[in-house]
Amino acid sequence: MTANVSRRALLLSPFPNLPPMNKKHTDLLYASPQKVSGFIFDDKVAAVFPDMIQRSVPGYGTIIHMIGQLASRYAQANSQCYDLGCSLGAAAMVMREQIDAGVKVIAVDNSEDMIARCRQSLKDLSKSNLDLRCEDILSTEISRGSVVVLNFTLQFIAPAKRQSLIAKIFKGMLPGGILVLSEKLAFDNNHHNELMVELHHYFKRSNGYSDLEIAQKRAALENVLIPETLDTHQKRLIDAGFKHVDLWFQCFNFVSMIAIK
Ligand code: GEK
């Protein structure tokens, strides 16, 4: 019964341990006309992050919920689970709910503001099997990894550094372990790419963002969030040594893949 209640809470909210959202937590960062500069994960973003990501990324809540399910299937005894680019720790927390106490969860982000808010939201929970680190995932050591999550993080890493990061992750994983890689995609076919972008913008408008907010956010993410094609991601994962690479979620230009070692 308790397990059902907690699973239901996670399905309804990927941030179950944060207080209910009010106006203060609404993403209005691009609501007024402004000189747009490159997007950064500072405290203004961290403060409205749950609202921002749920209104911007189609399927975010479903993906977080299912990462818990994947962790319950793939986490191995005495192994480590990683949430790389954890923001407020939604994936780390859902994994923690679903794995045995002997499995450690390591959540990493290089934004001090994200980590500070993540730490605060976790303060009442026992942190025994959770290690929260403020560091660059490019220097995170990966070892005994059974579940590694890059949930919309790789897209913010310089493309030239992506292959070595994936290779390092592969090397630090146990046989049978999985990497969950969620990304915004680009498509080779211009017509299809444009259609996916427009459907995504329609999704954002349906969630209350204005055309001005959508345009200014798009400008802020230019050269900061660099999407690649599905082929590029799949080839990189195979080149790193992953045996099975498959798509398990897609909504418009947002996907999640699993790669099994
Ligand atoms: C979620 N996974 O809620 N090292 C560490 N962290 C980084 C780096 C880096 N080099 N580059 C970017 N980040 C989360 C959502 S958000 C996605 C991930 C989005 C961090 C950055 O600080 C931010 O918190 C996160 O990656 C990307 O499931 O906002 O679209």
Question: In this predicted model, what pLDDT tens digit does every residue of 92-117 receive, in sequence order?
Answer: 999 998 998 899 999 999 999 999 99
Select from 10, 156, 180 the residue to mutate for testing ligand 1; criterion: most ligand atoms less than 8 Å from CB: 156
Query: Does the Cβ of 91 fall within 6 Å of ligand 1?
Result: yes
> Which pLDDT band, with edges at 50, 70 and 90, does 233 fall under?
very high
The pLDDT of residue 188 is above 70:
yes
* Confidence grade of residue 4 (pLDDT, cut at 50, 70, 90): very low
Gap from CA of 201 to ligand 1 centroid (Å): 21
Residue nearest to atom 19 of ligand 1 (CA): 152
Out of 87, 183, 254, mutate this one to test ligand 1's pocket (max ligand atoms within 8 Å of CB): namely 87
Beta bridge partners of 130: 105
Whether pTM > 0.75 for this model: the answer is: yes
Residue 253 beta carbon below 6 angstroms from any ligand 1 atom: no
> Looking at ligand 1, which residue's alpha carbon is closest to its atom 9?
136
The closest alpha carbon to 152, from 184, 126, 129, 178, belongs to 184
In short, whether 156's Cβ falls inside 6 Å of ligand 1 is yes
Q: pLDDT tier at 256 (50, 70, 90 boundaries)?
A: very high
Ligand 1 mean position, distance from CA 1 (Å) = 34
Q: Does the C-beta of 87 come closer than 6 Å to ligand 1?
A: yes
Over range 231-245, report the average pLDDT: 98
Q: Which residues contact 30 (CB under 8 A, 6 or more apart)?
A: 36, 212, 213, 216, 217, 220
Most confident range (mean pLDDT) of 12-16, 123-127, 129-133, 149-153 is 149-153
Residue closest via CA to ligand 1's atom 26 equals: 85
Listed in sequence order, the residues at least 6 apart from 173 whose beta carbon sits closer than 8 Å to its beta carbon are: 142, 145, 146, 148, 179, 261
User: In the predicted model, what is the mean pLDDT of residues 181-187?
Assistant: 98
Locate the ligand 1 atom nearest the alpha carbon of residue 87 and give its number: 24
CA distance 256 to 258: 7
Q: Which atom of ligand 1 is nearest to the CA of 149?
A: 2
User: How far is ligand 1, taken at its centre, from the CA of residue 128, in Å?
Assistant: 23
Confidence of residue 14 (pLDDT cuts 50, 70, 90): confident
Ligand 1 neighbour 230 (Cβ under 6 A): no
What's the chain's average pLDDT?
92
pLDDT band at 17 (very low <50, low <70, confident <90, very high): confident
CA distances from 143 to 119, 135, 172, 177 (A): 23, 16, 4, 11
State the average pLDDT over residues 146-158: 98
Q: What percent of the chain has pLDDT over 90?
A: 85
